[in-house]
Structure 1
Amino acid sequence: MPVDVPVPAPRLVVLAGPTAVGKGTVAAYVREHHPEVWLSVSCTTRPARPGERDGVHYHFLDRADFEAQRDAGQLLEWAVVHGTNYYGTPRGPVHEVLASGRPALLEIDLQGARQVRESMPDALFVFLAPPSWDELVRRLVGRGTEDEAERARRLTTARAELAAQEEFDVTIVNDDVRRAAEELVSLMRSDHQPKRD
């Protein structure tokens, strides 16, 4: 007689970590190789980087549109990141996808993760860590998308973000994108329980 193995209910998994750790790269791997996982598309007021497409990588908004959504309560979380641009997660699509039975992944910054923890404490919070500080600096400099002043701002932010690692339920080291992404998807399918205070 077959034994019914309980399948964990779909849940929200929040992926956060310091700037340049590769959150977007890991999320892109999940998007390409695991279409069953729904990835939230964040809103931002920063300009698109080369190759980024509106509605795929981000919803690129001007400040007035972002603030209107924020003020109307349409964002699950929002923050000013690196002291310059708004980032946020539209609330409606997250709730719709979870209600439909699909697992959902948010790739967001530390401030946003803290806000989501307040409103959705049953989510699983995953910290993506670099193999080392030197590797994080190398990745930030190597991507060449920020000027020297912006890199300095981001590295200052990264030190504070790394110090918050203990706030998360699980840490994944991004030493290999494929391995890190597969570990993340494996956690999404597991019944790994969030830490409780």
Structure 2
Amino acid sequence: MPNSLELVERLLKNETANRTLYNQLIDSLDDPRYIRVAENLETLQTRQISMLNRLLSVLEEEAPPPPRDRYYAEHILQPGETLRVLAIKYNTTVSRIRALNPGLGDNPQAGQVITLPIEIPKPPPRHIEYYVRPGDSLYTISQRYNTDIDTLVRLNNIADPEVIFPGRILIIPRT
């Protein structure tokens, strides 16, 4: 069952997506009585979004810190990426990302290292941290570092070996 942070994020995402529907509804109406009703609905929806944003902020501040004895994947924020984009790419939520990155500002900048809520095994004592670049694949990386794809998938808890994102920092064993 999703926790309250996840539920608030889902509600906020849905309400934000519905915002354009209210504008379309208002534009499609001709009768001033119905236009006023639709405008009132839009106003209420704007208030709901504002309240959800406030609730999200409070819940994020109260979230317990992540356990210190675990290891997590990391990602270097790319130009144009936001926490919401990362959440979509890595099938998580902004709340979970924020929980692992205390003190992260509202608008993180490209180049910042972001801890992802993807638990990985403890890295081997001798390892390389490799920054994924556009055009990379697990196959080309495994060839370059004389390892195999299965090892990269296991060490980095990669859900789909066919998909890796530029910016992801991969743990690679040294041979």
TM-score bracket relative to the smaller structure: under 0.3
- Higher relative contact order, structure no. (Cα contacts within 8 Å, ≥ 6 residues apart): 1
More helix by share: 2
Relative to the length of structure 2, the TM-score reads 0.23
More strand by share: 1
